[in-house]
Amino acid sequence: MGKEYNGVIQLKLHFNLFPGGKPKALTMSYDDGQKHDVRLAGIFDKYGIKGTFHLNSSTLNTPGFLSDDDVRGIARHHEISAHSVTHPFLDTLPLPMVINELLEDRRRLETLVDYPVRGMSYPYGVYSRAIIPPLQSVGIEYSRTVISTRQFDVPPDFMEWHPTCHHNEDMDQVWEQFTTRPSLQKFSLCYIWGHSYEFEQDNNWELIESFCRKAGGHPDIWYATNLEIMDYVTAVRSLKMSADHTVIRNPSATGVWVSVDNKPVCIDGGSTYYYKN
Ligand SMILES: [Zn+2]
């Protein structure tokens, strides 16, 4: 229950819940579009885990890389996202070339999926502040770096989305920390990235198989693509509230969950919640 204090209702309102009122989320992010992505996506599917595959369109249908049909198959359960046409160091290119690398990558990938491709990961993890506005100007809304945080926060700026860790960085210990930590008054997201060819090179497919076996099927975890996470968090951030926080309007098309006095409350897209204590 909220408490009266000098005429202001002090309700406990927190933005820490994912769809269904779930307190935690997991997303996976894999780069470069080698053929091994098909096997990796199959492992994700087996355990109900969702991921995002960042692809370089110039490699599609070349030896060792995904075919158009592979991409369509992966896209049934996962997000297809950009990684530039030719995998350059984007921070060294003239801006018109940066723009072309991502606009053309989107255009090519969008012939294979039925939605706008709106995200990317930076090739080699390299970026500069100067390239972010040009990328946004061609429809890129998020981009993943390779800076491991070992934390479970959602980024303040999705154009600098730092992952929790690479799958070789003691992922099992990270998972233990993630699942055993108490729920906090903020979002709790575990974000793991890598390349599927590393499992082949390192001969350790069992690493990801055992992780997914352990990580899948938790009723309190939302399994989502990078884009689903961004869209959901953006919808929560776009809530409009009265000054005393007792009237909450959700102007987005996405239903969102908030914690009111430690209870999950769903506010449907386009609806308004009125707090009554
Ligand atoms: Zn790459």
Distance in Å, CA 114 to ligand 1 centroid = 24
Look at residue 6 in the predicted model and tell me its pLDDT: 59
212 & 250 share domain:
no
Distance in Å, CA 32 to ligand 1 centroid = 5
CA distance 71 to 35: 10
Domain that holds residue 260: 4-14+239-274
251 & 197 share domain:
no
Look at residue 10 in the predicted model and tell me its pLDDT: 73
Confidence grade of residue 241 (pLDDT, cut at 50, 70, 90):
very high
What number is the average pLDDT over the span 234-256? 96
Distance in Å, CA 124 to ligand 1 centroid = 5
100 & 69 share domain:
yes
What number is the average pLDDT over the span 104-121? 98
192 & 269 share domain:
no
Look at residue 1 in the predicted model and tell me its pLDDT: 46
CA distance 194 to 167: 6
What number is the average pLDDT over the span 243-269? 96
Distance in Å, CA 14 to ligand 1 centroid = 36
Looking at 88-246, list the stretches that DSSP marks H as alpha helix, in order from N- to C-terminal side: 95-109, 132-137, 171-180, 196-201, 205-215, 226-237
- CATH number for position 173: 3.20.20.370
pLDDT at 11 over 90: no
The predicted-structure confidence for 70-110, as pLDDT tens digits, reads as follows: 999 999 999 999 999 999 999 999 999 999 999 999 999 99
Percent of the chain residues topping a pLDDT of 90: 94
Distance in Å, CA 144 to ligand 1 centroid = 11
Confidence grade of residue 7 (pLDDT, cut at 50, 70, 90):
low
125 & 257 share domain:
no
Distance in Å, CA 195 to ligand 1 centroid = 8
pLDDT at 8 over 90: no
H/E run at residue 72: helix 68-74
243 & 220 share domain:
no
267 & 160 share domain:
no
154 & 261 share domain:
no
169 & 251 share domain:
no
53 & 86 share domain:
yes
96 & 200 share domain:
yes
Total domains in the chain come to 2
The predicted-structure confidence for 193-209, as pLDDT tens digits, reads as follows: 999 999 999 999 999 99
Total-model pTM: 0.95
Distance in Å, CA 87 to ligand 1 centroid = 6
187 & 250 share domain:
no
Q: What is the DSSP letter of 182?
A: P
Backbone angles phi, psi at 55, to 5 degrees: -120, 145
